[in-house]
Amino acid sequence: MPKKLKKVPKFANEADERAFWESHDTADYFDLSKAVPVRFPNLKPSTTAISLRLPVSLLEQIKIAANKRDVPYQSLIKIWLAEKVE
């Protein structure tokens, strides 16, 4: 016999919902065997601003390289960092 699922309560705010799910098992509220993978293609990854000191000459070289590629220099720096990390 299938397990009887509990009803998910209404939450006043996100903090209440977070506290609830920290102490309850989702398997009691959802039939996880029917779960399907989903994609959120339009979500942007979270970003954090950093401060980075560079020699003026290096920054100028980066700006020239970015200008040749017709991209903002900060975007070019991110591309290069991502490539290096891979």
- Could you give the CA distance from residue 23 to residue 70 in angstroms, rounded to a whole number? 51
Residue found under tokens 């029917």: 34
Q: Angle between the 73-85 and 56-69 helix axes, to the nearest 10 degrees?
A: 90
State the pLDDT confidence band at 9, using cuts at 50, 70 and 90: very high
Domain residues of the chain, as ranges? 14-85
With residue 56 as reference, give the H or E element that holds it. Answer: helix 56-69
- Could you give the CA distance from residue 29 to residue 26 in angstroms, rounded to a whole number? 5
The predicted-structure confidence for 17-68, as pLDDT tens digits, reads as follows: 999 999 999 999 998 888 899 988 888 888 899 999 999 999 999 999 999 9
Backbone angles phi, psi at 51, to 5 degrees: -110, 130
